[in-house]
């Protein structure tokens, strides 16, 4: 699960600032970085605040991050379970992985063995795109600050 952060400048903006192409590329890169960091921080805060799923192993929270791209940044949650938590699941049958004959579950001090089980599905517990409007507003503000910092030589 991921999305791209890209900031483009208009010709009018280039004329108004009088900045070189290299400076504008650096400014938009810093703006995208700040926007991505803001989204990741807000996502982590949302989970820590108990507004989504209850963390069990920490794997999903640790999979949330961002990386620079050649045109901005990519924000991601790359745990295998991320889309299932975000969007929920329908009722479905769980079967053993290829090469296995049965499923094995811990149960009452021993194990329960089944060839398949009917899973009832799960409700969505949005964390990545939850509170989208507020997160987007904060990310845009951080992008603006990053762009201005670079253009004014503060970073």
When pLDDT is averaged across residues 1-5 and rounded to a whole number, the result is: 95
**Backbone region of residue 109 per phi and psi (left: phi > 0; alpha: psi in -120 to 50; beta: other values):** left
Task: Select from 64, 59, 29 the least CA-distant residue to 45.
Answer: 64
Radius of gyration (C-alpha) of the chain in whole angstroms:
22
Which H or E run includes 103? strand 103-107
- Looking at residue 71, its pLDDT comes to 84
Residue 16 has pLDDT above 90, yes or no: no
What is the pLDDT confidence band of residue 72, given thresholds at 50, 70 and 90?
very high
* Model confidence pLDDT, tens digit, residues 106-151: 999 999 999 999 999 999 999 999 999 999 999 999 999 999 999 9
For residues 61 and 81, what is the distance between their CA atoms, to the nearest angstrom? 11
* Model confidence pLDDT, tens digit, residues 17-28: 888 989 999 999
Mean pLDDT of the chain: 94
- Looking at residue 155, its pLDDT comes to 76
Task: Select from 13, 12, 25 the least CA-distant residue to 150.
Answer: 25
When pLDDT is averaged across residues 57-77 and rounded to a whole number, the result is: 95
């Amino acid at each position: 699960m991921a999305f791209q952060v890209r900031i483009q400048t208009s010709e009018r903006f280039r004329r108004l600032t009088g900045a070189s192409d290299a400076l504008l590329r650096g400014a938009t890169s810093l703006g995208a970085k700040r926007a991505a960091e803001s989204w990741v921080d807000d996502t982590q805060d949302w989970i820590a605040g108990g507004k989504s799923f209850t963390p069990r192993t920490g794997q999903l929270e640790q999979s949330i991050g961002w990386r620079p791209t050649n045109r901005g940044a990519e924000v991601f949650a790359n745990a295998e379970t991320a889309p299932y938590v975000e969007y929920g699941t329908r009722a479905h049958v769980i079967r053993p992985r290829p090469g296995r004959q049965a499923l094995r579950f811990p149960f009452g001090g021993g194990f329960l063995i089944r060839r398949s089980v009917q899973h009832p599905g799960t409700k969505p517990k949005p964390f990545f795109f939850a509170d989208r409007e507020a997160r987007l507003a904060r990310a845009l503000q951080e992008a603006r600050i990053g762009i201005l910092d670079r253009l004014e030589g503060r970073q």
